[in-house]
Structure 1
Amino acid sequence: MKKSYPTDNIHQKEGQEQSKKLYRYISDQVKIIDDARGCARSIGDLFTPIANVQRNKFRDYCERLIFTNPLLHGRKGEELLWRKAFYEVVVTAKRLKKTEYTLQEKACIENHINVGIGHYHHFVARLQQEYDLDLDGIVDFIICDQITAKKGQNNETNHELLEWVRLSIHRSLVYLGDLCRYRLEIYPNWDSNLVVRYYSQALCFKPNTECHIIKWERSLIIRIIL
């Protein structure tokens, strides 16, 4: 006589195995990405076709890990994605800058920043859809007209999970503000309103959550509000 196992337990085990495989792959890729970045001798070395493809794959795998098991790996996946796919690339480019960025170097960094902005727009939209959130009046850049909850989410969704979702949206808005700030550092004469826009949304969405907005950004926000 065959033993029968609850379907939920089987799916849970499959999800855990998938998470382990994704995490191992991501850990291996972190080493490869770090080694390539450490060997870069010019800004152009950071943005070769191979490096761009590698970061894109890494980003996709991190997102898969985040949504496969958000409570267990969500925060770590977010952190790795931000640091390795976006933040550390910009920091390394600053270190490799000689006197001024060339036009080609500016174009490469700006494209990298734009990819990041596109990613976090998509990420917030996916969180909205996956967990049936109403972000109208909170996030002003991408609101789904028809929200279809997935994975059987409803009003009784695990409280801990929903708290992670809200914090993840907050972090994404901060990252969007950071990316726009990096672009402003390349083009200091550009309008700073985009920086303020994302940081303001982050502050309004989770006002009690600490957000690393520097003094001049706070003053800009206050000026606009007044």
Structure 2
Amino acid sequence: MSQGPPTGESSEPEAKVLHTKRLYRAVVEAVHRLDLILCNKTAYQEVFKPENISLRNKLRELCVKLMFLHPVDYGRKAEELLWRKVYYEVIQLIKTNKKHIHSRSTLECAYRTHLVAGIGFYQHLLLYIQSHYQLELQCCIDWTHVTDPLIGQ
């Protein structure tokens, strides 16, 4: 008798669990790297450098994958990390150091771009969730994903 899992029955979930664990490890590593950046006194000058923006974008991608791969186990935690590490901590850092940021500077422009990108991302995420789970939210939120064939999809 074989002691391993039956073929075809547990290998799929096992692969999914392994993939989920790898994703979560990558998220934790990215969070750690972002924390190292934010602990510097001059972090407000570093936060919008291309490599740091790229790291936040990578974390955002990983968190979204994790949210939809395992929504029950990791969805809430992934979204919370996404919001806090990709958007909120940057906003707080800039607000805390606003005396160092001059009007119309490249830093202020990058900050405004960050805010607009965050709004756009969350609008897109809400539309995707609504579409993915076939939710009808016309009475719950101000704008919704339109599924009326006369209006367009």
The two structures share one fold, judged by TM-score above 0.5: yes
* Secondary structure in 2 matching 1:53: helix
* Secondary structure in 2 matching 1:140: coil
* Mapping of residues 66-215 of structure 1, within 5 Å: 66-98=67-99, 101-104=102-105, 105-145=107-147
1:49-76 Cα offsets, whole Å, 9 max, x none, are 1111111111000110111101111111
Structure 2 unaligned blocks of 5 or more: none
User: How many residues are aligned here?
Assistant: 146
CA distance in 1, matches of 2:111, 2:142: 25
* Secondary structure in 1 matching 2:99: coil
CA distance in 2, matches of 1:87, 1:111: 14
Taking structure 2 as the reference length, the TM-score comes to 0.83
CA contact (8 A) 1:46 1:93 kept: no
CA contact (8 A) 1:42 1:96 kept: no
Change in 2 beyond 3 A, CA 1:146/1:69: farther
Shift of 1:107: 1.6
Change in 2 beyond 3 A, CA 1:144/1:21: farther
Superposed CA RMSD in Å reads 2.4
Shift of 1:101: 4.0
Letter of the aligned partner of 2:142 in structure 1? D
Shift of 1:146: 6.6
CA distance in 1, matches of 2:148, 2:55: 34
CA distance in 2, matches of 1:37, 1:106: 18
2:56 aligned residue: 55
1:64 aligned residue: 65
1:13 aligned residue: 14
Taking structure 1 as the reference length, the TM-score comes to 0.58
* Secondary structure in 2 matching 1:133: coil
CA contact (8 A) 1:40 1:46 kept: no
Change in 2 beyond 3 A, CA 1:96/1:16: same
- Same amino acid, percent of matched pairs: 30
CA contact (8 A) 2:138 2:144 kept: no
